Chains A and B, each alone.
With several copies, the nearest count.
Chain A
């Protein structure tokens, strides 16, 4: 079940250069949202920009009926969203999409987030961490240290490792490089990842090499967000035999081994 709702802004803060954390009061969404799902957000009410913008659900507070988004200001839509203030309303559609599905039998789970890909992984960690017998690693990559410090995994029972392109914090290099370094030691049996296409593609190659199963959250430009317009296609299957599936409705999370890169 998903809804179109005018949600009150509970808080809206800059958490890093260009990054905002937006907390919305929406008990309806909070009650049913699953990690990996997204909200389709109207950034303002005019015809320009016209389309909604998809953002992963970053966190949910079921008791207080709150849903948090974490987003980077990259273009016009997000710039307009960033001007919205506490107590104003934002129109959202959601929760949408098919989220992460970490198999119960997997006990050593690695979550890999590149850049804003970390947003949905936080909510996923919260859900996975309910089962304390599972070991969880979070690998978070960013260009530089300043882009890492706004997601606070501190209170959660996870092993957090960070990578920065400029080496200003943690591993110097890409988060896939970090994954390669850690994999032999960690011996994961499942990988859930979100981030830029280039990162996911490289991670997929590495996972294939290691014979590791997992799932990727994909991004594509969207129209409706609800599966009707077939604008958000990605190729799913094998390189020889794939078909177009809808990121918004069949995904955004797909089995890692079935994503066929363009």
Chain B
């Protein structure tokens, strides 16, 4: 069973295609009692910055139809605490750890990459160029091809680790950003980060979130995410990690069929701390039921018109 689900992304060998989405399981440990971390394809931990960040004022989360708005504001203890305290503790789990990084300048990304280079226990870096809550000069890196390319290139220059660029859906043409990141040397692409959204508290007549706007995630955005994977799969020749509203194995299959080699479970963890484990089990069961020897056969299959017939 496990052989059938094994995939490789940017040189990371994973038992199965199921990762956690950055920011939704913290540094993993809170989830260890609900989820066998070692059973994951990879553990992507919450985005880290050079200096500790206090994050945004509450409320930081609002519920929307089939979705969640969050404005955590990248609260994190900073890269030194990560290296000193978090990574050593994660070493006891048999799972590739992907460290997500973000900065307010290109230089900060580069310095983070350099700082983490050679640190044991890191399988890859995920470059979060898309977080809508970080106002780096007003617009996010991930919305401009040239800025996205610059960040990825400088990160690549400063690390020997595989680099996954995480794209934002808040753009006119996500393919252009994907091509830029690919051209700059990204080894894989994660898509998508959250959509920018907001909610108004009608009683208070004020924005609900302390930060006014936030990032929309959860099942509500799945159609946007599947479309992004579909488009980028046709535009670049890199392995893709698909995410956005995956709650079940069937949701994960939508992404895989659209072209994702791996998937990440995000908001679902907030609802059901065992969600990722259920997706892993469900994928294995699907392969068995359908008699598929290798999950890689399904990657992008919906483009080929393969399998099943229209009836």
Given A51-B270, A196-B311, A220-B59, A227 and B30 contact (CB-CB distance below 8 Å): yes
A222 CB–B CB distance under 8 Å: yes
The reply to whether A232 and B273 form a contact with Cβ atoms under 8 Å apart is no
The reply to whether B59 and A221 form a contact with Cβ atoms under 8 Å apart is yes
- Nearest neighbor of A226 in chain B, beta-carbon distance: B30
Number of residue pairs across A and B with beta carbons under 8 Å?
100
Instruction: Name the segment of B19-27, B150-158, B285-293 touching the other chain.
Output: B19-27
The reply to whether A50 and B271 form a contact with Cβ atoms under 8 Å apart is yes
Bound form: Cα–Cα A196–B311 in Å: 9
- Nearest neighbor of B54 in chain A, beta-carbon distance: A244
Residues B258-297 near A (CB distance < 8 A): 267, 269-274
A198 CB–B CB distance under 8 Å: yes
Q: Among the listed A2, A51, A231, which residue makes an inter-chain contact with B60, where contact means beta carbons less than 8 Å apart?
A: A231
Q: How large is the interface on A (under 10, 10 to 19, 20 to 34, 35 or more residues)?
A: 20 to 34
The reply to whether A226 and B31 form a contact with Cβ atoms under 8 Å apart is yes
The reply to whether B24 and A228 form a contact with Cβ atoms under 8 Å apart is yes
A132 CB–B CB distance under 8 Å: no
Q: Mark B29-73, 1 if CB is under 8 A from A, else 0.
A: 011011000000000000000000011011111110111101010
- Nearest neighbor of B23 in chain A, beta-carbon distance: A229
A243 CB–B CB distance under 8 Å: yes
* Chain B residues within CB distance 8 Å of chain A: 23-26, 30-31, 33-34, 54-55, 57-63, 65-68, 70, 72, 75, 218-220, 247, 267, 269-274, 310-311
26 A-B residue pairings within 8 Å (CB atoms): A1-B33, A4-B272, A47-B66, A47-B220, A50-B63, A50-B66, A50-B68, A50-B218, A50-B219, A50-B267, A93-B273, A220-B58, A220-B59, A222-B61, A223-B61, A224-B273, A229-B72, A230-B26, A230-B72, A230-B75, A231-B70, A232-B60, A233-B57, A244-B55, A244-B58, A262-B57
Given contacts A50-B218, A50-B271, A52-B270, 4 further A-B contacts (CB under 8 A): A223-B70, A228-B31, A234-B58, A262-B57
